[in-house]
């Protein structure tokens, strides 16, 4: 049994070393769960071909099994195992991978073990993360790794190892600590199963960059929350434990609200005083975690965010985080 190290208390968080990497890869091979850093958020990983291990991801997160998972790969040979590719997809992959871009493409591998990862769909959701620890873990494990964000379903996504532990505790066999995630919001999900590309989840790669590369307009769909075709389409997602209002100007905040500002709308915290959307995305989930921990504030309010560039991803997250039935 692996023994954790001391942070504030004994935990299952391990600093990244060659030894901990080897142990993590063995856990994946043995059908266990490893939380690991990517450039976007921390993922909760299992062997994509081990249906029992994948089922445990859903159980640990409390995630509905109709919500597909992203399969993370480290090279194009792994992609060829899973997906039917074409010229458009490969051009995008070679340009933007490794990076915060996920593709929804037609399945090539109809191994029944993959049905749970794919939520029974005829499509595969796949990406190559841009993080050395993630890539090394996949290579050492020798298999693609299925990995949603490493947190309870519908709660705030984790951007540090401590966030993972605070959400999932010792339900995870091992948490590899790679520091804070640089991008801070999940990957952009691009559906390439139709003639016109469609963004199913705005994320760490801006729509404008994809359109510039393809030389064509890309549609944006928020999906069907009852039958999601990709992760990130549930109406309530990324949510703090306390109520949250969005698009609130600083002068309209209530006294009982922890205010997260942006640009000249200042507050308890500011996602980016300079109005930089890249900085804002990197800070988003970490600031939401901090806000929900402030016991003197029973609610959160957030400043308006421009709906351009990475603002599209930020607004998608906070809209779902603030959703109330």
Mean pLDDT of 276-287: 96
pLDDT at 76 over 70: yes
d(CA 287, CA 317): 13
pLDDT tens by residue, 116-174: 999 989 999 999 999 999 999 999 999 999 999 999 998 999 999 999 999 999 999 99
Whether 86 has a pLDDT exceeding 70, the answer reads yes
Give the pLDDT score at 238.
81
pLDDT of res. 228: 59
Task: Write down all domains in the chain, each with its CATH number in brackets.
Answer: 13-187 (3.90.870.10), 244-321 (no CATH)
Using a pLDDT cut of 90, give the percent of the chain over it: 86
* pLDDT for res 48: 97
Mean predicted confidence (pLDDT) in 185-203: 95
Average pLDDT over residues 192-206: 94
pLDDT at 324 (0 to 100): 79
pLDDT at 227 (0 to 100): 60
Q: Output the pLDDT for position 66.
A: 85
* 108 C-beta neighbours (distance < 10 Å), count: 13
**Per-residue pLDDT tens over the stretch 263-274:** 999 999 999 999
Residues 6+ apart with CB under 8 A from 93: 76, 79, 85, 101, 103, 128
Tens digits of residue pLDDT in 202-249: 999 999 999 999 999 999 987 666 665 667 656 667 889 999 999 999
- What is the pLDDT confidence band of residue 303, given thresholds at 50, 70 and 90? very high
| Residues 9-62: tens digit of each pLDDT | 448 999 999 999 999 999 999 999 999 999 999 999 999 999 999 999 999 999
Return the pLDDT at 5: 41
pLDDT at 225: 62
Residue 8's pLDDT band (boundaries 50, 70, 90)?
very low
Say whether pLDDT at 251 is over 70.
Answer: yes
89-112 pLDDT, tens digit each:
999 999 999 999 999 999 998 999
Q: How far apart are the first and last CA of the chain?
A: 43
Q: Which of 69-73, 130-134, 186-190, 217-221 has the lowest mean pLDDT?
A: 217-221
Cβ-based burial of 276 (10 A; exposed 0-12, middle 13-18, buried ≥19): middle
Q: What angle do CA 46, 95, 277 make, to 5 degrees?
A: 80
CA distance 160 to 39: 11
């Amino acid at each position: 049994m692996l023994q954790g190290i001391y942070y504030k208390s004994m935990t299952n968080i391990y600093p990244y070393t060659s030894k901990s990497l080897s142990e993590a890869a063995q856990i994946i091979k043995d059908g266990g769960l490893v939380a690991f850093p990517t450039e976007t958020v921390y993922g909760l990983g299992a062997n994509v071909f081990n249906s029992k291990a994948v089922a445990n991801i859903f159980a640990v997160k409390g995630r509905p099994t109709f919500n597909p998972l992203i399969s993370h790969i480290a090279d194009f040979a792994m992609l060829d195992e899973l997906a039917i590719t074409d010229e458009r997809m490969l051009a995008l992959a070679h340009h933007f991978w490794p990076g915060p871009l996920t593709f929804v493409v037609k399945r090539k591998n109809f191994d029944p073990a993959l049905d749970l990862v794919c939520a029974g769909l005829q499509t595969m959701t796949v990406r190559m993360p841009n993080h050395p620890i993630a890539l090394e873990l996949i290579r050492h494990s020798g298999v693609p790794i299925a990995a949603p964000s490493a947190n309870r379903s519908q709660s705030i996504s984790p951007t540090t190892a401590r966030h993972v532990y605070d959400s999932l505790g010792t339900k995870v066999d091992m948490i590899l600590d790679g520091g804070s995630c640089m991008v801070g919001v999940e990957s952009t999900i691009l559906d390439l199963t139709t003639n016109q590309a469609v963004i199913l989840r705005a994320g760490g790669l801006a729509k404008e960059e994809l359109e510039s590369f393809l030389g064509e307009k890309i549609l944006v769909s928020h999906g069907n929350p009852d039958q999601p075709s990709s992760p990130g389409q549930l109406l309530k997602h990324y949510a703090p434990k306390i109520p949250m209002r969005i698009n609130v100007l600083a002068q309209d905040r209530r006294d009982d609200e922890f205010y997260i500002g942006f640009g000249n709308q200042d507050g308890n915290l500011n996602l980016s005083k300079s109005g930089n959307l890249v900085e804002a995305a990197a800070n988003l989930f970490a600031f939401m975690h901090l806000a929900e921990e402030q016991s003197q504030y029973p609610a959160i309010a957030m400043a308006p965010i421009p709906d351009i560039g990475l603002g599209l991803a930020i607004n998608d997250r906070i809209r779902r985080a603030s959703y109330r039935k």
